[in-house]
Amino acid sequence: MSTVLELTAVAKTFTMHLQGGIRLPVVTGVAFAVRAGQCVVLAGRSGAGKSSILKMIFGTYRCDAGSIRVHADGRTVDVAQAEPRQILVNIARGFISDLPLLLLDEPTASLDAGNRAVVVDLVAEKKRRGTAVVAIVHDDDVRAAIADTVIDVNRFTAAA
């Protein structure tokens, strides 16, 4: 299967402007790839940087270093360098259309068992159709049902 998403040497630091400009390193050296039809789940303790990584992939957080390349339709977009209008990934659109990459942040967190199963089935269908999926899932059963690979984000946590 072809690679849809590649993160290479990605780093993120927050600047606390109301705290005298203190820089708070979040993650550094983030590197992984996701192939078409594969689901990668980001795991780790609270505060390890899972959501920050997902937001950098989505393009709502800018990374300080590295590249986040999305390969689709014969083109490559480096989200780390892209203009906002070049970035398109919305969960509803991701389930409705056939985009190459689906990003999910706790998609089953507030759902009952029946609706969790529906989301698991939707993810499985997207994978069968060749969509690459990156998800944050704390529910062990859901993680086991959808993950092809689990990446421990703790290894990317920047030393403060």
What would the pLDDT profile of 23-36 be if each residue is shown by its tens digit?
A: 999 999 999 999 99
Q: Domain residues of the chain, as ranges?
A: 3-156
Domain covering 3-156 in this structure, CATH number: 3.40.50.300
Q: For residue 99, what are its two tokens?
A: 């985009």
Give the predicted TM-score (pTM) of the model.
0.86
Report the 3 state secondary structure along 28-42: EEEEEEEECCCEEEE
Residue 91 has pLDDT above 50, yes or no: no
CB 42 within 8 A of CB 10: no
Buried b (16+ CB within 10 A) or exposed e, 107-130: bbeeeeeeebeebbebbeebbeee
Integer Cα distance of 81 and 16 in angstroms? 23
What would the pLDDT profile of 14-68 be if each residue is shown by its tens digit?
A: 999 999 999 999 999 999 999 999 999 999 999 999 999 999 998 889 999 999 9
